[in-house]
Amino acid sequence: MAILAASLKWFQCTTWTEGATHGGAVNTSVQITTGVSQNIFDNVTDAERQSGITMYRKIFFRNENADAYNNVKAWIQANTPDTQTAVSITGAGSVSVQGSDTVIPTTTFTFAASVTVTASADCHLQVAEGERIWNSTNDTAAAARIIASISSDGLTITLTSAYAGTTGAAKQGTVGRADANTFVSPDTEVHADVLNLGNLVQNASIGVWVKYVCNSSADGYTDDTFTVRATNS
């Protein structure tokens, strides 16, 4: 069967109100429609423009085709036209929220003194490339390491650097707060920083954190738009 573009959709997360608890899993009852004003971020007020503001939104890409949509990549096809604003992105699993660390449910992890973390069950939709993970049974967030990639079966997480905290099996894993992540601005699907979001079977969703920055003392701007795109390869 063919992959239909109409069955590839963007949705809000479950807690859409901005703040520390913004994020969580996909909310399939609220689709994000392309070309609609304020479909992701609210308008910047005059007060926010004068003081400067940074906002975060977690959005989900969902495959509703019968066939799997594999090797999904996300990037910023068009950044904001206003030179005083910009967006950047990072990966987002179903667990993370904007302003607090969150335990990864239903899955335990084996941490080793290496870049490899092994999951007890498929976790590729719970956590994502670019997020931070650590052994919260024994360690604090200071031990967190950035996820470089996740295997196609969701059982092997590769970190950007070796885990230096407490090692061992059957450990609780925690994913870090999104507003402390490193955000990137890939502008093509072949950019070095493009987000690799993995494979999506029918009705599976994977998230993207979007960060919007408006510099302080910025001039007003009408129709400050941007485009985040996802495709497969």
> For residue 2, what pLDDT is reported?
87
> For residue 1, what pLDDT is reported?
65
Query: For 61-99, how does the pLDDT look when each residue is reduced to its tens digit (9 = 90+)?
Result: 999 999 999 999 999 999 999 999 999 999 999 999 999
Q: Which CATH code, of 3.40.50, 1.20.120, 2.60.40, 2.40.360, is assigned to 5-32+46-95+180-232?
A: 2.60.40
Helix or strand run (H / E) with residue 59: strand 53-63
The single residue listed with the structure tokens 């609210």 is 42
Q: How far, CA to CA in Å, does 81 sit from each of 17, 24, 87, 138, 147?
A: 26, 30, 11, 46, 31
Query: For 49-65, how does the pLDDT look when each residue is reduced to its tens digit (9 = 90+)?
Result: 999 999 999 999 999 99
Neighbours of 47 (CB within 10 A): 8
> For residue 220, what pLDDT is reported?
87
Measured distance CA(59)–CA(91) in Å, rounded: 10
> For residue 48, what pLDDT is reported?
93
Measured distance CA(31)–CA(14) in Å, rounded: 12
Query: For 134-174, how does the pLDDT look when each residue is reduced to its tens digit (9 = 90+)?
Result: 999 999 999 999 999 999 999 999 999 999 999 999 999 99
Span 191-216, average pLDDT: 96
What is the pTM (predicted TM-score) of this model?
Answer: 0.96
Spans of all domains in the chain: 5-32+46-95+180-232, 102-176
Asked if residues 30 and 10 have their Cβ atoms less than 8 Å apart, the reply is no
